[in-house]
Amino acid sequence: MIMKKTIISTILLLSLGLSASAQNPGHNRRGEGDREAAAKEMQAKMKEEANAYYANADTAEYGIRYRLKYLFNKEKNLTFEEDRIVLITPKVTLYQSYEGIGETRWRLANPNGQGGDLGLAYHLTPDYYFYYPATGRKVNTYRIISEEFKLKDFTCDNKWNITDEEKTIGEYKCRKATISKGGRDWSAWFTNDLPHVGAPRDFNGLPGVVLEVADKDNEVRWMFNGIVNHVEGDTLFIKYPDKFSDIPVERFPKILHIFATCDQSNYLQNSGIYDKHKGSYPLKYRPSTGIDACIIDNPIEKE
């Protein structure tokens, strides 16, 4: 929340500076200097806050990027797409949205660029899945503004059937495994060419790194989209929440619904809330609550 307020303050400060320059052309040069100084000060403050936030976090060895494609509303043929990532260490993995990482890296590579990464699906679902391979523990959390909710804490005991079928994904040799769960039949492709274990969502339990998962109808698919490593200026951290909200988790669905329907972004059009917008969706969406706020008639877990 502090970082969000800092960003808002920066925007307001820069806006005021631009307005003053337009009214006083003679002060443009000084105004530009003031704006640059203010921006640098805010950037330094945000970096300091980020360093404090991640001080006790784990550092991932690498990440697996996926493109998630999900037919979430069959009646209206609405498909959700999002870039996701699994951050991997020997003792813990984290499945989350890739948008924040992708946007940061595009800005680092294009400091003076306009727009954004054309290869990135601009969705940001603030849900997280922490997995501990040694024990099989899985923790599903969700963030709304500054409130962290622990939705589920369980043992992942998937009963996979590992087959002899093989194929290559990217440069990695993979084997196929199948499982029935949540009312769907799934196939996953995993590799031993990468260190440790990792998988999207709750498809853990295989002896390798999962690069692809899909249900038999291809209504829900995670497709391999590359290896993600550290770059200068952007370390891959795994941060477990310091504390969870005092709000009872039973109230979470209602809070999520209220937050989603009060949002004024174009994302509401994709959610199906405003039927009048059907057929006129923008090319990019920027949700604040992600797929869980959509009107879904085709859930990932049917049971």
Note the pLDDT tens digit of each residue in 163-172.
999 999 999 9
Q: Using alpha carbons only, what angle is made at residue 250 by residues 246 and 254, rounded to the nearest 5 degrees? A: 100
What pLDDT is attached to residue 42?
74
What pLDDT is attached to residue 36?
75
Alpha-carbon distances of 29 from 14, 55, 140, 181, 206, rounded to whole Å: 14, 39, 51, 63, 60
Q: Residue 51 corresponds to which tokens in the numbers above? A: 């360093």
What pLDDT is attached to residue 214?
98
Beta carbons of 174 and 191 less than 8 angstroms apart: yes
Question: For the chain, which ranges sit under pLDDT 50?
Answer: 1-23, 266-287
What pLDDT is attached to residue 33?
75
Query: For residues 44 and 184, what is the distance between their CA atoms, to the nearest angstrom?
Result: 48
What pLDDT is attached to residue 54?
82
66 closest CA partner among 19, 32, 99, 22: 99
What pLDDT is attached to residue 147?
87
190 closest CA partner among 229, 217, 222: 222
What pLDDT is attached to residue 53?
78
What pLDDT is attached to residue 288?
55
Chain-centre distance for alpha carbon 110: 21
What's this model's pTM, rounded to 2 decimal places?
A: 0.80
What pLDDT is attached to residue 192?
98
Half-sphere exposure of 266 (CA within 13 A, CB side): 11
237: β partners? 59
What pLDDT is attached to residue 17?
36
Q: Element (H or E) spanning 268, and its range?
A: helix 267-271
Backbone angles phi, psi at 8, to 5 degrees: -60, -40
Task: Enumerate long-range contacts of 173-182, CB under 8 Å, 24 or more apart.
Answer: 174/211, 174/212, 175/208, 177/206, 179/203, 181/301, 182/300, 182/301, 182/302, 182/303
Query: For residues 174 and 189, what is the distance between their CA atoms, to the nearest angstrom?
Result: 6
